[in-house]
Amino acid sequence: MTNKRGMLIIFSGPSGCGKGTVLSRFLAERTDTVLSVSATTRKPRPGDVDGVHYFFRTREEFERMIAANELLEYAEYSGNYYGTPAPYVEECLAAGKNVILEIEVQGALKVMQTCPDHVSIFVGVPSIGELERRLRGRGTEEEEVILRRMAAAKQELATAEKYQYLVINDDVDKAVLRLQAILEAESLRYNRMKTNFMEVMNNA
């Protein structure tokens, strides 16, 4: 049977809404889905591992990647570059794995234009106050960075309407179930099923 191409999943939401928490819970149970590792010029946080959480790069190195056309998308967010290395994404999709891009909205809008066959999900929070509590509660950012991220959050929330799905992360377990439900339904779209289905029909 022909290998079914994986789904390209755009997963965005304001910093601190819980994207990483939901994804790590979701991915722990999935062997058919991988997370793309981005390149960034931001400094590693305690616990961040180069090549696992991000590829940490200097601005010069990052700009070299842009010039060499190595990125599927990139954006400047809160004073740093972030971008998705293209080859890994393509290899995984071709091998039939779903790939999740956990990216901010400017990059997400670019992927929506350049890769029409995508699934886009925006992660929202129950309230702005709760977002700030989570961002502060994580304890990984300086006050100035928190204020910048809260300002960015207001603009990001206004772009939620550009996405196909909205998952409110009021509860991690429920958010994981919602993500599972979206991917299950998306994988059953006729267009994604048809190659295998036609093979079955032709051999009947």
Residues that bind ligand ADP (CB under 6 A): 13, 15-21, 134, 137-138, 169, 171-172
134 binds, among ligand ADP, ligand 5GP, none (CB under 5 to 8 A by kind): ligand ADP
Residues that bind ligand 5GP (rule: CB under 6 A) add up to a total of: 14
Residue 169 within binding range of ligand 5GP, rule CB under 6 A: no
Closer CB to ligand 5GP, 74 or 165, in the complex: 74
What is the smallest separation between the CB atom of 113 and ligand ADP, expressed in angstroms?
24
Q: How far apart are CA 50 and CA 77, in angstroms?
A: 19
90, containing H or E segment: helix 86-94
Q: How far apart are CA 102 and CA 46, in angstroms?
A: 20
| b/e map 45-66, b = 16+ CB within 10 Å | eeeeeeeebbbbbeeeebeebe
Closer CB to ligand 5GP, 103 or 167, in the complex: 103
21 binds, among ligand 5GP, ligand ADP, none (CB under 5 to 8 A by kind): ligand ADP
Closer CB to ligand ADP, 16 or 107, in the complex: 16
What is the smallest separation between the CB atom of 50 and ligand ADP, expressed in angstroms?
18
> In this structure, are residues 90 and 53 in contact, taking their beta carbons and an 8 Å threshold?
no
> In this structure, are residues 172 and 25 in contact, taking their beta carbons and an 8 Å threshold?
yes
Amino acid at residue number 112: M
CA–CA–CA angle 18, 119, 50 (5° rounding): 50
Closest CA to 134 of 18, 13, 11, 12: 18
89, 107, 121, 157: which one binds ligand 5GP (CB under 6 A): 107
Closer CB to ligand 5GP, 61 or 199, in the complex: 61
What is the smallest separation between the CB atom of 5 and ligand 5GP, expressed in angstroms?
21
Closer CB to ligand ADP, 95 or 147, in the complex: 147
